Amino acid sequence: MAIDPQSFSEQEFRFGYAAENPIGTVNVATPQLLNIDQFPEPDYNPAINTDPRHGVGRAHRFLDNYISTQGRLKKIPLAGVADTTTLPDLLSNIFGIAIGTLPPAFKHPYNFTPAQLLTGATGDITKTLTGHLISPLSNDSIQFPGCLLEHLNIKFAAFSEDDNRGMFAADLVTQFNYVSGQAAPSGLVAFGQGFYNLSQMCITKDYAGGSDVVIEGLEIDITMPIKFEGGCSGSNGNPVVISKGIPAPIITVMATVKYDSNSPHRFVTGNAVTIELSNDVVWADATGLGLKVDKGIITEVKRNDKSSIYQDITILAQADTSDNIIEIIA
């Protein structure tokens, strides 16, 4: 075999996703590409046992090795630009809900009790995804069925950072078996060219109880516990059901806020506070980008060394007896 003179750049690898129907079945039809920053290196997490077994001599014998990926949790870290095409899909999958109305937001309810997802049942973007790690080489792409978002971080940096665009970092997880050595899927859908930034939330600026605060950065962090259960869906060890949010999702918001007369007395750890950031004075009329938390508690306050005094204030979003834990317009 002759030496192959071809080489590749990391930017030639792509990652896309496609909603599954039924759940756990690979979907290769028109995957949506993500605007990723770097090669998403999956953690295949195989079970590997190379312990020497009883036999003739004192050696690690090749035939004694045990290696399996069945029933093992695989994780795919992703990071990139949060565009207006793909961020709504990511929010829909991690919350398990479609976008609402008045305003057009993803509304995570106070009584969040999602049904278990059954392998083979009807699926859509709110349930499971097939992840596609697409190689520039022919027949070297990898398909990851049964994926869900376990973690999503959305960051809106100061106007002078990150090209003034919102960014995301996420973890896709699955316990289904992956399929390697595949052709790249056809009909790939390009990632969006619309972006988010803090200037889209400049009318109502209420944070931690302060009004008209000056914000130089914002992060929304969502952790949704995922549990794959059973291993008898066929003979391949795939899970039977998937549970979300046990014991509870963890949702925090961190903003870098200027210390001034609108805000200083509010920023004490343990205080109960609210958040409302949008492009309208009436939340129900807001569009584009927005954030609302009706009940939260300040869990951390740190001084931020900017030109003037700022503070990084972290708030844990919590449920009340009604309404929503968090609402995100995107």
58 in any annotated domain: no
Task: Please tell me the least confidently modeled range out of 42-51, 127-136, 288-297.
Answer: 42-51
| Residue tagged 């770097």 (tokens) | 38
* 21-58: pLDDT as tens digits: 999 999 999 999 999 999 999 999 988 888 888 888 88
Residue 1 lies in a domain: no
Average pLDDT over residues 148-170: 89
The number of C-alpha atoms within 13 Å of 146 and in the hemisphere containing its C-beta is 29
Evaluate whether residue 56 is within a structural domain. Answer: no
Q: Give the tens place of pLDDT for each residue, 142-156.
A: 999 999 999 999 999
Domain of residue 267 covers 11-48+68-329
pLDDT score for 195 = 95
- Is position 305 within any domain? yes
* pLDDT computed for residue 282 by the predictor: 98
Tell me the backbone φ, ψ of residue 114, rounded to 5 degrees.
-70, 145
pLDDT recorded at residue 162: 63
Q: Does 160 score more than 80 pLDDT?
A: no
Domain count within the chain? 1
> What is the residue whose two structure tokens read 């870290």?
77
d(CA 113, CA 124): 18
Q: What confidence tens digit (pLDDT) does each residue in 231-276 have?
A: 776 667 899 999 999 999 999 999 999 988 888 566 677 888 999 9
60: in domain:
no
> Is residue 303 in a domain?
yes
In a domain, 116, yes or no: yes
User: Are the C-beta atoms of 75 and 61 separated by less than 8 Å?
Assistant: no
pTM here is 0.94
